[in-house]
């Protein structure tokens, strides 16, 4: 059987799709898995902030349209790019074991940065606690583009997901500073989206149940909070014993609220 897997065309998206495809090939060596790149609206409009033309979801809607139309059989996403409400007829069929969930700061110098790049409201409110006098400057583009802007001197530092650096094996020539931030819901998770109930033999074989439980908890918090990628909201859940421990971040009346929640499985 041949299964067509859709992905964005960015190096990170392709790498993550290759990881998912390799997991499927290991489980089903007799089948063929073809990767097809699709350009998303978010990738086309790099001159504007995401909030100005749709926010969360602009990186995946073309992939979801291809799924619904039958042009592809699966779509692979960074889970943090997925809105809390999926189109009718689609579901997250599987997730792979979570990679690093942490944010890091990358820079060329150990001096306190004056200009810090991020396009995330969640990261911005947390970095302002560490560097209240720094200018927070928006940044768009793929990982390589962002690093080039750092090296050209346009920024003193960037805030990035550690999982992205790990998966692309970049950053060895940069100073990487760990940050004790509450991450975005789904950060570090590779999600496989399918038509509802479709190809369950395949998705069940590669799904990592603890990561799926954590993702569901994070996405439910995001949904209940009414937040998205341009709201200062974060959540990180992990299965500990028979419970889910979740750390959350939100902003109320200008105050950053961090909480730890203990949830029951299921």
Determine how β-strand 103-107 pairs with β-strand 190-195.
unpaired
CA distance readout (Å), 261 to 157, 197, 236, 247, 258: 32, 31, 10, 6, 10
Which residues are the active-site residues? 81
> CA-to-CA distance for 145 and 134, rounded, in angstroms?
22
Q: Are 74 and 94 in contact (CB under 8 A)?
A: no
For the structural domain made of 2-99+185-264, what CATH number should be given?
Answer: 3.40.190.10
Homologous superfamily of domain range 103-178: Periplasmic binding protein-like II (3.40.190.10)
> CA-to-CA distance for 25 and 248, rounded, in angstroms?
36
pLDDT at position 166 is 97
- 53 — pLDDT class (breaks 50, 70, 90): very low
pTM of model > 0.95:
no
- 56 — pLDDT class (breaks 50, 70, 90): low
pLDDT at position 43 is 55
Is the pLDDT confidence value at 249 over 90?
Answer: yes
CB crowding 233-262: b at 16 or more within 10 Å, else e: bbbbbbbeeeebbbbbbbeeeeeeeeeeee
> Residues 90-106: pLDDT tens digits?
999 999 999 999 999 99
Instruction: Report angle CA 68, 205, 21 to the nearest 5 degrees.
Output: 65
- Measured over all CA atoms, what is the biggest interatomic distance in the chain, rounded to whole angstroms? 58
Is the pLDDT confidence value at 206 over 50?
Answer: yes
Helix axes 11-27, 143-151, angle to 10 degrees: 140
Taking residues 219-239, report their average pLDDT: 86
Q: Environment class of residue 137 by beta-carbon count within 10 Å: exposed (0-12), middle (13-18) or buried (19+)?
A: middle
Domain with CATH 3.40.190.10 in the chain: 2-99+185-264, 103-178
> CA-to-CA distance for 258 and 247, rounded, in angstroms?
7
């Amino acid at each position: 059987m041949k299964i067509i897997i859709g992905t964005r065309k960015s190096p990170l998206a392709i790498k993550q799709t290759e990881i998912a495809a390799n997991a499927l090939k290991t489980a089903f060596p007799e089948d063929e898995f073809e990767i097809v790149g699709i350009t998303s609206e978010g990738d086309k409009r790099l001159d504007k902030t995401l909030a100005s033309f749709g926010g969360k979801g602009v990186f995946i809607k073309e992939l979801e349209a291809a799924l619904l139309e039958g042009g592809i059989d699966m779509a692979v996403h960074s889970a943090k790019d997925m809105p809390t409400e999926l189109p009718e007829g689609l579901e997250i069929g599987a997730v792979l074991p979570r990679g690093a969930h942490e944010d890091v700061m990358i820079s060329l110098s150990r001096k306190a940065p004056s200009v810090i790049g991020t396009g995330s409201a969640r990261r911005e409110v947390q970095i302002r606690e560490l560097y209240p006098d720094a200018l927070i400057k928006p940044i768009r583009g793929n990982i390589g583009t962002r690093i080039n802007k750092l090296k050209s001197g346009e920024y003193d530092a960037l805030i990035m997901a550690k999982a992205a650096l790990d998966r692309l094996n970049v950053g060895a020539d940069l100073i990487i500073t760990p940050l004790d931030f509450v991450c975005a819901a789904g950060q570090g998770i590779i999600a496989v989206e399918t038509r509802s109930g479709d190809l369950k033999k395949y998705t069940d074989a590669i799904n990592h149940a603890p990561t799926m439980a954590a993702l569901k908890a994070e996405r439910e918090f995001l949904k209940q909070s009414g937040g998205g990628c341009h709201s200062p909201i974060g959540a990180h859940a992990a299965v500990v014993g028979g419970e889910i421990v979740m750390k959350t971040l939100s902003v109320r009346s200008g105050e950053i609220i961090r909480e730890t929640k203990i949830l029951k499985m299921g």
